[in-house]
Structure 1
Amino acid sequence: MKHDKLAKELGLSDVYAIATGAMFSSGFFLLPGLAAAETGPSVVLAYLVSGIIVLPTMFSVAELATALPRSGGTYYIIDRSLGPMLGTIGGFGSWLALVLKSAFALIGMGAYISIFYEVDILYVAIFLTIVFGVLNVVGAKETTWLQKVLVAALVTIMFFYIIQGVFEIFSMDVFAVAEKQFTPFFTEGVLGFFATVGMVFVSYAGLTKVASIAEEVKNPDRNIPLGMFLAIGTAVIVYVVGVYIMVALLDPVAFREDLTPVATAGEVFLDWLPEPGGLILVVIAAVAAFASTGNAGIMSASRYPMAMARDKLMNRHFATVGKLGTPHWSILGTVMLMLFFLLAFNVAEVAKLASAFQLLLFALLNLAVIVMRESRIEEYDPGFKSPWYPWVQIAGIILSIILIFEMGVLSILFTLAVSVASIVWYKYYAEGKVERQGAIYHVHARLGEFKDHGLEGEMRTILREKGLRQEDPYEELVSRADVLEFSPDTEYDTIIREASNKIASKLGTPVDELVEMFSHTDDNIAIPIAKGVTLNHARIEKKVSPELVLVRIKEGYSDKKLKKEKSDSSSGEKLHSIIFFISPQENTGQHLRILAHIAEMVGSKSFLERWCRAESEEELREVLLRDERFIRITLNPDDNTQQYIGKMIKEVSFPGQSLITIIRRNGEIKIPHGITVLQEGDELSIIGEIEDIKELKTMLKQ
């Protein structure tokens, strides 16, 4: 069985675990001593500066991943913004870099296990690669459950570690320690320091990999940026404070040659634990760190070939999602590639070469934000927007380029080789199969060139899948919508004018202005959004509340009447609903989200039947409301609703932020106000959050 989409099963804790787990491994457990050899005690500052330098890319990825929550992360973002050729480079490069990083992490895990047990490190890495691969095939939720356990163990032990280390330092003469251990601060000068920044910068690179599983994240607008912020905060604290402890407590010469500095420092201040308790804790943390990097790496890496296969850049089998809801062929391909590198190369050496490529991707991701913003695509609607645009992105590009040149000639050559190979693949395998061009063509369109309309459609689909945001007043909008009924022989101009009259009375806008706006939609025709339903929408420059008018033609309305010029191009379909929607020009994202949600509601199988069967205006509105966020009650002295009779609305307490939107009294509609007194027989339409409506139904025993 095949599925087109991956299930949205991952929450905030999963995002945090994946982002955090992807950062901790060699960067903390192997690298500090080697980095200190390049710059001395200033290695502590190098880790802090690296954490700051990664922020522009983190902001950019958080914005792009909330706007484009699709599997493939870096590849998908670069492809849709900069075009499929650069997308191919980003896809293959990201896949390769993450596979190498994951394989290297499992080698490191084997090294730490060998402290207590005589094992062949390579065989341990191969075994773990297969185990994590199987786990990834079983399911994303199962994979992230293990990831959360590993990260929880890692973070708990590391915070215990740094707290104990800080206490140890403060039990000594802090100033004497600073003078002895931190002087001279820059042993190799400014150039040596910045070379070290480039070396340790890749310790934070795993943070952005969470974008590759964005499609599987629930509420991505909140969970992706928040999970990334929490992860980078954790990483900076552990890296900076942890390395400070190592510098302060270890002999400088020995530290700069130590490949297990965390364990060595732990033995100094965890000596109060039963022997070898301190070492065991550090080894457990190291194993958890390397395992979480390897596990998260396989999960994230496998989404790259899947996304590329969806877009015809790789064999279509990589896009297959099996019965267990995971891309099993893509996972298998990732595991096989890891095994190949483990068996054929010195993974530690090859993994270092991928660092420059990672920095190239960071530069492209920052450029992607600029392209998406400047493309002015209305459907580009990120849940998080990077602050200080475009200066943050420009800084991210410049810093990435500077650090690339700190990586050395071999790393740069490796990056060029992968890029050239990717271009050759694209030219000879994919170019003839791919029609999209990327958002950069929308920038060209502003200069008189053409644009890729397919991208706009794809992003509208994303908007519909993401759904409404909490601040979007959809239920309130529908609840106060005017309802009009017309016969099949009514002219469309008459329908437009009547709908415009209703909206004009609420907004204080001239009727003729609204008629003009609704009469000049694309091709002078309302947009069909579902069987029997069309939508005519416009945006007004005034600051107004969005408004809806719902039109029903129960007997059916010929879509030929919607055309200004009579032609035979009509589908001949009978229309039963015409929806007019207007909102302010300043809130493009909300306008598009509401449009997308209306399309989703009218697209349900039962919509037309319920729409035509409705016997009142309230019932027509209810057809467009989400049942779980809506309730209608009638005030009756013989049931639990009697508590509201005789009270002003402002005196009534409903769960949460639930609101009375419409009162139907004696067959007439009343708009509720705070001083409106509720009477016996009133029908109240109430909207609220899902949990609040559930609580209200329980209170009223409905």
Structure 2
Amino acid sequence: MAILDASQRLKKELGLFDVFAVSTGAMFSSGFFLLPGLAAAKAGPAVMLAYLFAGVLILPAMYSMAELSTALPRAGGSYFFLDRSLGPMVGTVGGLGTFLALTLKTAFALIGIGAYAAFFVELPIKSVAVALTVVFMAINIVGAKETTTLQRILVVILLAVLAFFTVQGFIFVFVEQPVAETRSQLQPFLPFGVKGLFSTIGFVFVSYAGLTKVASIAEEVRNPDRNIPLGMMLSLGVTTFIYVAGVFIMVAVLDPDELRSDLTPVATAAEAFFHWLPGQIGLLLIVTAALAAFASTGNAGLLSASRYPLAMARDRQLPAIFGRIGRFKTPTPAILAAGGTMIVFILVLDAEGIAKLASAFQLMIFMLINMAVVVMRESRIPSYDPGYRSPLYPSMQIFGIITSLLLIVYMGWLAIMFTAAIVVICLAWYAHYVRDHVERHGAIYHWFRRLGQRQFDALDVEFRSIMKEKGLRGEDPYEEVVARSFVLDLKGSNSFETVVDRASNKLSTRLPKSAEEITRRFLEGTGMGLTPVTHGVALPHFRTELTDDSEMVLVRSEEPILVPADDPLTEEHEPEIGVRTLIFLVSPESDPGQHLRILAQIAGRVDEPHFMERWMQAPDAQALREILLRNERYMTVRLERGTPAFEMAGKAMKDLDLPTGCLVAIIRRDDEVIVPRGGSVLEAGDVLTVIGDPPDLDEMRSKLR
């Protein structure tokens, strides 16, 4: 399984606006600047409804992608989700097929730049497209942040011009143009009937396909639980409004026959109501927006396409060279492969027709993505822990599967055959290469377990490693649990059973369980191989229905304690392993995800350089606790004379004026460690451990300066 070390991971440097920009930039290009006229030829004035319905029909895929991206934020998007849910064979189809479809569409977008630039300067279209591909390759290699910085600029330019176009268009249609003329433009509304409308929905559906491209860069997104779903929703809302409003303006302004044969309908419509601008400024604005749209699609397309060979190489479904990370912490060989493929398509193929057919394959991927969510949910893998869950499950996913199939059918036999051809090519690669290199199964095997069949346990191991990389959620009480944890600092030689007894005695003072029952649960879990041991640290743990709060015991021992355990990452079985650190954790049964996230956070701290050296040299119990606390989540305050903090001396805890998110978790008074209560009174010389969110701690630091 692809458990990544630090050198293999991509930098997490993309925020909410980056997600919005990548998603929005990937949607605006041919769907707005080229397709409306062609779509109007199929649906008439009802083309605006086709765009609206297409935006609604992509919701299941968006929700499913958001859930999978927050559970498994890995480069590769659709490929990674399909591989881990439905298995390597389907993952190969999803990965290679989406890569080919994406590079075709991106190449077509770059060709569109040359076409729109021809309004002012006659340049060889393919030469311009190849040159821009090379430029975007260089930008992507330098870094995702640099890539999305360009994406931000392009999207801001695009949205500004389109907002201006929409406002001016509405003014022209509703104020300047006679009402009777507007009505005549909209009649007959459905000249080709409902069937024509449905076929057009499938035709324009590709306009929204870029919405889910952000899933392929999920590994590089900060706080993916919030930023990915919110960014996608904002992007879809803005894009749908501009699509529907813009197409309405084109329909209301342009002669129907002219619109149906116009490949630049936005520019033509703009000329009708930008006449008040001097010269060709109106046309220049629209061409600028079109160029920004095609450039943003090309840039975002290359960014996301390159993550597919990266992810597949990590899983040995492609040669290892595609999984290498370059000096800028970006997948240089994968970017070169994606860009090179685009250049070949630009030079050799007539990309327009193929790019449109590729949307049929994209619909099939969306259908499989909806199936993947069902499989993941029903497999009930404990470490499948999405930060965002799709609403209306499973109705939403079933609706998405059915509508994807129907839209493919409405697109005709050519689209169906093209999709089938890509599937055959991908299956041939699976049979020739992947099957001999991969020994892995998807989450569907865990579903089979529920039906009395087998499962693939290594998948849970990989998901747990992803949880460790994702870290805690804002509501997880990790700091509180560590701050109030018991500490056992042991001298001499001790058996594992003795240590468990002593830890259980401590926990029994807070849990409604006897020490004997707690001991039994810990020993049972260890005997079943459920106690992970890594880097010389053992983590005995269990969940119980008899508590609402997690509790922890930290143990440091002078002499090694022999623990029968497994290494959770290598899955190697050892009869006994000597450890000097044990961290016992008991959590509520009702929140298994939180339990696993706390364990993953502990494992992450243990993985840090020099952890054991710092642990063994810590002077006291509180220092041990602080080693486990996240640096940005706690601060130490000393009530010393002559400092602003001394004003707190003599005050009860309940009377302190602390920032809202701050909590005094521990008071150290001489050699005593006190867990404070509301009535606890602070004294001069006390040392406080304060925990809280980083902004609140910053506020407290500023008060104490």
TM-score, length-normalised on structure 1?
Answer: 0.95
| 1:498 equivalenced with 2:490 (yes/no) | no
The alpha-carbon distance between structure 1 residues 74 and 689, as it changes in their structure 2 partners (threshold 3 A), is same
Give the stretch that moved more between structures: 199-208 or 512-521.
512-521
Structure 2 match to 1:389 = 393
1:432-443 matched pairs, under 5 angstroms: 432-443=436-447
CA–CA distance in 1 between the matches of 2:306 and 2:607? 33
| 1:693 equivalenced with 2:697 (yes/no) | yes
Contact residue 526 and residue 534 of structure 1 kept, 8 A? no
| 1:413 equivalenced with 2:417 (yes/no) | yes
Structure 2 match to 1:574 = 578
User: Among residues 230, 243, 246, which one is paired with 1:242 in the alignment?
Assistant: 246
Deviation at 1:524, TM superposition (A): 4.5
User: Among residues 67, 70, 74, which one is paired with 1:70 in the alignment?
Assistant: 74
Structure 1 match to 2:100 = 96
| 1:279 equivalenced with 2:302 (yes/no) | no
Deviation at 1:570, TM superposition (A): 5.5
Deviation at 1:175, TM superposition (A): 5.2
Give the stretch that moved more between structures: 612-621 or 417-426.
612-621
Structure 1 match to 2:260 = 256
User: Among residues 646, 649, 658, which one is paired with 1:645 in the alignment?
Assistant: 649
Contact residue 195 and residue 406 of structure 1 kept, 8 A? yes
CA–CA distance in 1 between the matches of 2:576 and 2:42? 76
User: Among residues 375, 378, 382, which one is paired with 1:374 in the alignment?
Assistant: 378
Secondary structure of 1:544 counterpart = coil
Deviation at 1:229, TM superposition (A): 1.1
Contact residue 492 and residue 561 of structure 1 kept, 8 A? no
Contact residue 34 and residue 257 of structure 1 kept, 8 A? yes
CA–CA distance in 2 between the matches of 1:29 and 1:216? 30
| 1:300 equivalenced with 2:304 (yes/no) | yes
Structure 1 match to 2:489 = 485
Deviation at 1:314, TM superposition (A): 1.4
Give the stretch that moved more between structures: 356-365 or 445-454.
445-454
Deviation at 1:528, TM superposition (A): 4.2
- Paired AA for residue 306 in structure 1: L
Structure 2 match to 1:200 = 204
CA–CA distance in 2 between the matches of 1:285 and 1:318? 34
1:439-588 matched pairs, under 5 angstroms: 439-524=443-528, 527-559=531-563, 573-588=577-592
For each residue in 1:371-425, what CA deviation from the matched residue of structure 2 results, as whole angstroms up to 9, or x when unmatched? 1111111111111110111110111100000001011111111110110111111
Deviation at 1:543, TM superposition (A): 4.9
Deviation at 1:138, TM superposition (A): 2.4
The alpha-carbon distance between structure 1 residues 560 and 225, as it changes in their structure 2 partners (threshold 3 A), is closer
Deviation at 1:470, TM superposition (A): 1.2
Structure 2 match to 1:599 = 603
- Paired AA for residue 26 in structure 2: A
For each residue in 1:612-646, what CA deviation from the matched residue of structure 2 results, as whole angstroms up to 9, or x when unmatched? 23332212211211233222223223322111112
Give the stretch that moved more between structures: 383-392 or 176-185.
176-185
User: Among residues 306, 318, 322, which one is paired with 1:318 in the alignment?
Assistant: 322
Deviation at 1:312, TM superposition (A): 1.3
User: Among residues 572, 580, 594, which one is paired with 1:590 in the alignment?
Assistant: 594
Structure 2 match to 1:358 = 362
Deviation at 1:698, TM superposition (A): 4.5
Contact residue 491 and residue 561 of structure 1 kept, 8 A? no
| 1:80 equivalenced with 2:84 (yes/no) | yes
User: Among residues 24, 47, 51, which one is paired with 1:47 in the alignment?
Assistant: 51
| 1:158 equivalenced with 2:162 (yes/no) | yes
Contact residue 312 and residue 430 of structure 1 kept, 8 A? yes
Contact residue 488 and residue 556 of structure 1 kept, 8 A? no
- Paired AA for residue 213 in structure 2: K
Structure 2 match to 1:22 = 26
| 1:344 equivalenced with 2:348 (yes/no) | yes
CA–CA distance in 1 between the matches of 2:496 and 2:489? 13
Structure 2 match to 1:566 = none
CA–CA distance in 2 between the matches of 1:690 and 1:398? 46
- Paired AA for residue 371 in structure 2: L
Deviation at 1:529, TM superposition (A): 3.1
- Paired AA for residue 37 in structure 1: A
How many aligned residue pairs are there? 694
The alpha-carbon distance between structure 1 residues 21 and 525, as it changes in their structure 2 partners (threshold 3 A), is closer
| 1:227 equivalenced with 2:198 (yes/no) | no
Secondary structure of 1:348 counterpart = helix
Deviation at 1:482, TM superposition (A): 1.1
Secondary structure of 1:557 counterpart = strand
For each residue in 1:121-155, what CA deviation from the matched residue of structure 2 results, as whole angstroms up to 9, or x when unmatched? 22222222222222222222222111111111001
For structure 1, the 5+ residue unaligned runs are 563-568
- Paired AA for residue 100 in structure 2: L
The alpha-carbon distance between structure 1 residues 558 and 512, as it changes in their structure 2 partners (threshold 3 A), is closer
Deviation at 1:518, TM superposition (A): 1.4
Contact residue 137 and residue 326 of structure 1 kept, 8 A? yes
Secondary structure of 1:171 counterpart = helix
Give the stretch that moved more between structures: 610-619 or 274-283.
610-619
User: Among residues 182, 185, 189, which one is paired with 2:186 in the alignment?
Assistant: 182
For each residue in 1:97-139, what CA deviation from the matched residue of structure 2 results, as whole angstroms up to 9, or x when unmatched? 1111111111111111001112222222222222222222222
Secondary structure of 1:521 counterpart = helix
| 1:659 equivalenced with 2:651 (yes/no) | no
- Overall identity of the aligned pairs, in %: 51
Contact residue 565 and residue 574 of structure 2 kept, 8 A? no
Contact residue 495 and residue 562 of structure 2 kept, 8 A? no
For each residue in 1:433-477, what CA deviation from the matched residue of structure 2 results, as whole angstroms up to 9, or x when unmatched? 100111111111111222112211111111111111111111111
- Paired AA for residue 386 in structure 2: P
RMSD value, Cα: 2.0
CA–CA distance in 1 between the matches of 2:649 and 2:218? 49
CA–CA distance in 2 between the matches of 1:327 and 1:608? 33
